[in-house]
Amino acid sequence: FALIETETHTQSIKGKTRLPSQQRVSRFLLSPSYRFSIAEILRKLYNKIILHLRKKMAKKNPRFTRQPLKNMKKEKKKKKRKSIKEIIKEPSTAVLKSSAATALTNDRGVRNLSSWVKTQLLGRGTYGSVYLATSVNDKDKTERAIKSAELLRASSLMDEGRILTRLQSPFIVRCFGDEIAREENDLHEQYNLILEYCSGQTIADLIEDNHGELLESDVKLFARDILSGLRYIHDQNIIHCDIKPENLFLCPTDHRLRANGYLTKIGDFGLAMEKGSIEYGDGTGHRRGTARYVAPETMSHGIVDFGTDVWAFGCTVLEMLTGELIWGEHGDLGFDDWVDLIGHSDCLPRIPGWLSKEAIDFLSRCLERDVHKRWSSHSLTNHPFVRL
């Protein structure tokens, strides 16, 4: 199926429309293609097989499960401190370990109760809800973000979990495992994806709270982090497909490592695709993402590739530098109007002349309509705008 996101709620900022971070989008399905329908069936069948095997293993061994790390803080203390420059230049070599489950399982291998207590709803999406949660077993009451969905409807969330468990980078929101459990007083089994909690909110929140453009010095730091994350996932053959301010999370870090006190991490891989997979096919027929940030080739022909993320990244950097919603001068459009504007016209997002020459050139490399001329995430890393 081809997926796309369109905005449903707006608010005014400086006379422009601005979308709140948790009320911004809704997804709807377009007409399916025969090829993709088969891919979807195979994907769901694969998920059922994996689920069956996990339940079978858990039945034989009640301690079998994937659990979040408990001793992360102790492990971090043993590691040698690195500068932010070293972190950016070196690939991440962290290995996530799993600890055994302590909760009892039922006769089908499903945990009776979750290892996590959900304390606050952080947001809702098409594929599930996100909660702030604390560990039941950890004396330190470790906090995690739990992305949760009813098990029978958790196929897409399981796909996201499989991608995230492969990605181990300081610029990607970490996945610490998953579990299948029942909530207290709930008859339905839930699939819980256990993620790193970034308490610094998102880039979208920062723009909104700032009521306008961010300092260019800060934007450079944020852009450098995002590029490092994009370069990493592209090296893993993963296309995010939904880069936007709401999916870029700020994690507090040591001021000695980062002047602004934050490390920016890419999150929400719910629409991500792997090149070479059955679902990806030949890379065509995939209209997915948030309409304002979708690349021209995706809007016009459904082409998804690494350049798709670069275009959306350029839109995000432009929003940070101006404080204005991308394509905001066109107001709220219907899907067909977005296709005409982005996919079939010669229009480009407006880049103000008052920005620095480096910023203007950087944005022009990202927001190139011809995907073959658009710079890659690797090339952009060496641009003067973000180069250390």
pLDDT one-digit tens code per residue, 5-18: 555 433 433 444 44
- Over residues 293-310, the mean pLDDT reads 95
Is residue 242 flagged as an active site residue?
yes
pLDDT at 380: 98
> Does residue 378 have a pLDDT over 90?
yes
The helix-helix angle for 216-235 and 306-322 (nearest 10°) equals 170
Residue 55 domain flag: no
Residue 376 domain flag: yes
Residue 155 domain flag: no
pLDDT at 6: 52
Q: Which residues is 129 bridged to in the sheet?
A: 124, 148
- Over residues 246-268, the mean pLDDT reads 89
pLDDT at 25: 39
Residue in the block written with tokens 């109760």: 113
Q: Cα–Cα distance between 218 and 85 in angstroms, integer?
A: 16
pLDDT in tens, 103-121: 334 444 455 677 888 899 9
- Give, in order, the Cα–Cα distances in Å from 367 to each of 173, 217, 307, 326: 26, 21, 10, 12
Residue 140 domain flag: no
Average confidence score pLDDT of the chain: 79
- Give, in order, the Cα–Cα distances in Å from 114 to each of 135, 184, 258, 314: 9, 8, 36, 40
Tell me the residue type at 256. R
Q: Helix (H, G, I), strand (E, B), or coil: what is residue 175?
A: strand
260 against 34, higher pLDDT: 260
Q: How many CB atoms lie within 10 A of CB 197?
A: 20
Q: Helix (H, G, I), strand (E, B), or coil: what is residue 237?
A: coil
Q: How confident is the model at residue 160 (pLDDT cuts 50, 70, 90)?
A: very high
Residue 18: domain span? 3-38+199-381
Residues placed in the known binding site: 147
- Give, in order, the Cα–Cα distances in Å from 163 to each of 174, 233, 338, 373: 11, 10, 29, 29
Residue 356: give its domain's CATH number: 1.10.510.10
Q: Helix (H, G, I), strand (E, B), or coil: what is residue 264?
A: strand
Percent of the chain predicted with pLDDT > 90: 52
pLDDT at 131: 93
Pick the closest to residue 221 from 130, 379, 338, 87 (CA basis). Answer: 87
Residues 160, 175: contact at Cβ < 8 Å? no
Residue 301 domain flag: yes
Tell me the residue type at 111. R
pLDDT in tens, 211-240: 889 999 999 999 999 999 999 999 999 999
Q: Cα–Cα distance between 213 and 329 in angstroms, integer?
A: 16
Domain count, the chain: 1
Q: Which of 159, 242, 268, 305 is catalytic?
A: 242
- Over residues 276-285, the mean pLDDT reads 82
Residue 96 domain flag: no
Residue 222 domain flag: yes
Residue 310 domain flag: yes
Residues placed in the known binding site for ATP: 147
